[in-house]
């Protein structure tokens, strides 16, 4: 690395990447792949790549990141993990990759996608998106981080799945009074108590989402700007 190269990963605050870089830390590595495999695949497909090329590229890119020491030598790309990932996949999708992809041995049984759906099956569920691939990628990253936040929060409601699902449905607005009253009776609590739970749930969700976003940045002072950017991408 030349002396004027970007500072290496060790100086960043990408805590999710830092944890995933530990070859003995299976949980964070699986979480990393779970969050980002589909945004990367959808980005490649929206770039015009064939399904097999896109799948092989994502598999190769994530496999290289998570199964060797590549993450430990990671350099910053504008301070945002999503920028690094998009640039890395662009590199993976070069003519050199296309020429050699067919010769690469795939893992036994193929790539195991975290949610059980094949890439094309999941992409088929997505609405048509006429935006540029990089803008659509930002939206998918935002959705992936929201899903990861919900997964983390659900673990705090072990044995209370129905209550969690009700509170999750209240994130973007209160249910009508009759629905709220019926839910309170179903959970065996007072209406006011349930409303307080909704308020607390929203606060906890915001807190965990902020943590998820902060883990993808090199500077904690940029968290609010990144959150605004991601939410704007969702709203487009």
Residue by residue, DSSP assigns 3-20 as TTSPPBGGGS--HHHHHH
- Distance (Å, whole) CA 28 – CA 6: 25
Give mean pLDDT, residues 189-196: 93
Over 80: is that where the pLDDT of 3 sits? no
Look up residue 69 and give its two tokens. 């020491």
Least trusted range by pLDDT, from 5-9, 54-58, 121-125, 203-207: 5-9
Calculate what percentage of the chain has a pLDDT beyond 70.
Answer: 67
- Distance (Å, whole) CA 164 – CA 153: 9
**34 CA to centre of own chain:** 7
**Could you tell me which residue, 6 or 142, shows the higher pLDDT?**
142
Give mean pLDDT, residues 199-225: 89
**SS3 sequence, 119-156?**
HHHHHHCCCCCCCCHHHHHHHHHHHHHHHHHHHHHHHH
Backbone torsions φ then ψ of 217, nearest 5 degrees: -120, 155
Over 70: is that where the pLDDT of 63 sits? yes
Which residue in the block uniquely carries the two structure tokens 């605004």?
Answer: 228
Given pLDDT bands bounded at 50, 70 and 90, which one contains residue 8? Answer: very low
pTM: predicted TM-score of the whole model, two decimal places:
0.68
């Amino acid at each position: 690395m030349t002396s004027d190269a970007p500072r290496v990963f060790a100086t960043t605050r990408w805590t999710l990447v830092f944890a995933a870089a530990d070859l003995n830390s299976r949980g964070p590595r699986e979480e990393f792949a779970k969050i980002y495999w589909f945004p990367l695949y959808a980005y490649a497909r929206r770039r015009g790549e064939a399904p097999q090329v896109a799948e092989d590229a994502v598999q190769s890119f994530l496999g290289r990141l998570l199964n060797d020491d590549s993450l430990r030598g990671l350099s910053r790309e504008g301070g945002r993990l999503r920028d690094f990932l998009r640039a890395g996949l662009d590199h993976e999708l070069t003519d050199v990759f296309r020429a050699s992809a067919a010769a690469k041995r795939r893992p036994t049984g193929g790539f195991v996608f975290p949610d059980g759906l094949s890439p094309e099956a999941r992409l088929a569920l997505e609405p048509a998106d006429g935006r540029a691939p990089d803008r659509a990628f930002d939206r998918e990253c935002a959705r992936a981080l929201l899903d990861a936040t919900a997964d983390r929060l659900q673990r705090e409601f072990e044995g209370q799945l129905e209550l969690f699902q009700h509170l999750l449905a209240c994130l973007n607005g209160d249910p009508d009074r009759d629905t709220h009253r019926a839910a309170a009776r179903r959970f065996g609590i007072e209406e006011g108590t349930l409303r307080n739970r909704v308020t607390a749930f929203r606060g906890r969700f915001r807190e965990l989402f902020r943590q998820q976003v902060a883990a993808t940045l090199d500077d904690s002072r940029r968290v609010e700007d990144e959150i605004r950017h991601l939410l704007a991408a969702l709203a487009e």
